[in-house]
Amino acid sequence: MTFISSSPRKQSLTREQLIAQVQRLRAGIREHRDGDHIAGAHSERALLTRSTEAGKRASAAPVRVGRRVNSPPQFGQRLEKRASVHAAQNVHAKEQMRASSLSGGRLRSQGQGSSLRPKAAMQSRHRRRTVLETNTVVDERLVQPTRVIAAHLAEWGSAPAYVELAVFGTDEPRAIAREIDRFCRTYLGAEVAEALFHQSSVGSVAGVQLDDGRRVVIKGHQPSRSVPFLREVARVQMYIASLGLPAPRVLGGPAPLGLGNAVAEAFIDTAMLPRSEPHQPDVRRAMAASLYAIVAACRPLVAGSSLPRHLLADPPLARLWPTPHSRLFDFEATAGGSDYIDAVAREARRLMRPAGELVIGHGDWRAEHVRFKGSVPVVAFDWDSLCREYEPALVGCTAHAFCADWSTSPPPPAPTLDEARAFVAHYESARGKPFRGPERRLCGAAFAYACAYTARCGHAIDATAEREHPGSFGALVAREGLRLLEV
C-alpha cells in the first residue's frame, strides 16, 4: 500500500486508487454507524484464537454476589466442547484511527489535485464527527448498564473474563453494553434503558428494560454453540412453554451478538420467588416429578430432535474424563492424589452402557435454576441445557446435583447417597414404574461418574479441602466409593 507523505512534496494517485481509498473510509464509518460493532466484526481477519471455557458469575443492580475465584464453578452449568476467544481489544479505537488517517492524511493531501476531493474530504469529516457524536450519546445512555457489567467483572478480581472474551471478544464493560444495546435495537426494535442484572455461566445473560417498557433477557452464547443447536433449543423450549410447563417464552433468535449468537426471552421477576431448600423432601419430590413432566411432554419431539447427549453421560471413549468445562480445572497438572476419584469414575465408565428410552430433558435440573411457589415449580431457567439422553442416565446425572446452587456462598452440600436414592425413587414414582436391570445399572453409573467428575474439579482447585470438607463431592466420593453405583 502506498502512503501519502505529509511533507510539501505531494504524490499523485490514480482515480481508481482514490476511489478505493474513499470506499474503504466509508466502509469504516459504516461499520461504526450500523451497530457500533465490537471485535466480533473483525474476528476472522484480524484476531488470534485460543480455547477457553468459563465459570459462573453474577452481578445485578444492585450488585448480586456470585461465585468468586475462591469458589470455582463445578458441574452445574451446561458443558461445552471448546470456544473461540479473540484476544484483540480496542477495535473501535483502531477503526477510528484508521478513518482519521485516511481522511486527515490522504484525502487532505489529495484535495489539491481535483475540485471533487475537498468536498469528499468535508463529507468524510462530517460523517466521522457524526459517528463520534453518536457514540458519545450512546455511551451516556448506557452509563448504568456499563456500571452493572463492570461490577460483575470486578467480582473476579484478576481472573480473566473468559465468558465475556468468548462471547463479545472484549472484557471492556462499555463495549459489552454497546453490543447488547445494538442487539436490542436491531432485533427487538428498542433501546436499552436500564440493566436489571448481568451474569455469566458458559454464556452471558443480561436482563434489561427497554425504552418501550418491555423487560427481556438476552442470552449470549459462545461461538461453539451452533445456530442449528440454538434453534432446536428454542423450538423445544417454546413447545414446553406452550404446555404451561415452567419455561420462559422465547421472544426471538438466535441472532448475532458479539462473536456468537443470542436468544431473547421474556423476563420473569423472581423477587417474590425465593429459592427453596433442596434438601427438604417435598422440594426434592417436586423437582423429580417436574423433571418427569418435561420428559413426558417432550416424547413427541424425541424422534426428530437434533439435541445432543448429556456430556457426563457420553464421555469420550479414549479418556477417563471429558475436557473440563472450565479452564480453572487442569486435570493433568493436578493428577496427584486423585486415585480415589479416578477409581470410581473408571468403574462407572465400564458400566455406562445404553439402556432404556431415549428422552428429552433438562440436563442441569437443579435448585439454582428452579423457582417455587410453596412446593410447586413455577419457572425454571438454563434451557440451553436441554439434551436428548437415555432416561436412566438423565436421572442419574440429575440426582448428583439436584440440590446444587453455586450462586450462594457457601453452596449447599452435595446430596447424601440416601438423598440421591430418594430423588430417583421420586422420579420412578412419577414415572409409574421403577428402573430395572440394565436401566438401574446405567442410572447408578451415571450418578457415580457425575459425582466423581465434580469431585475431580474440586480436587484440581484444592485437593485437601475437596476431600476433607463436609458436604463436598470429594468427601462424598471418599466416603461412599463404589457404593455410589448403587443409587
Express each pLDDT in 110-165 by its tens digit: 333 333 344 454 555 555 555 445 566 677 899 999 999 999 999 878 878 888 99
Mean pLDDT of the residues in the chain: 78
Domain boundaries defined on the chain: 15-266, 281-486
- Please compute the mean of the pLDDT values over residues 258-271 and round it to a whole number: 94
Range 281-486 has CATH code 3.90.1200.10: yes
- Please compute the mean of the pLDDT values over residues 432-453 and round it to a whole number: 98
pLDDT of residue 156: 79
Query: Model pTM greater than 0.75?
Result: no
pLDDT at 15 over 60: no
Between 3 and 76, residue with greater pLDDT: 76
pLDDT of residue 412: 81
pLDDT at 362 over 90: yes
pLDDT at 57 over 50: no
State in Å, rounded, how far the first CA of the chain is from the last one.
69
Q: Return the percentage of the chain with pLDDT > 90, whole number.
A: 60
Q: Which residues contact 23 (CB under 8 A, 6 or more apart)?
A: none
pLDDT in tens, 74-114: 434 333 333 332 322 232 333 333 333 333 333 333 333 33
Cα–Cα distance measured from residue 215 to residue 193, given in angstroms and rounded to the nearest whole number: 10
pLDDT of residue 277: 86
pLDDT of residue 415: 96
Q: Return the percentage of the chain with pLDDT > 70, whole number.
A: 72
pLDDT of residue 228: 97
pLDDT band at 237 (very low <50, low <70, confident <90, very high): very high
**C-alpha cell at position 406:** 453455586
C-alpha separations of 304 from 232, 365, 470, 475 in Å: 10, 23, 44, 41
pLDDT of residue 101: 33
pLDDT band at 215 (very low <50, low <70, confident <90, very high): very high
pLDDT in tens, 293-350: 999 999 999 999 999 999 899 888 889 999 888 777 899 999 999 999 999 999 999 9
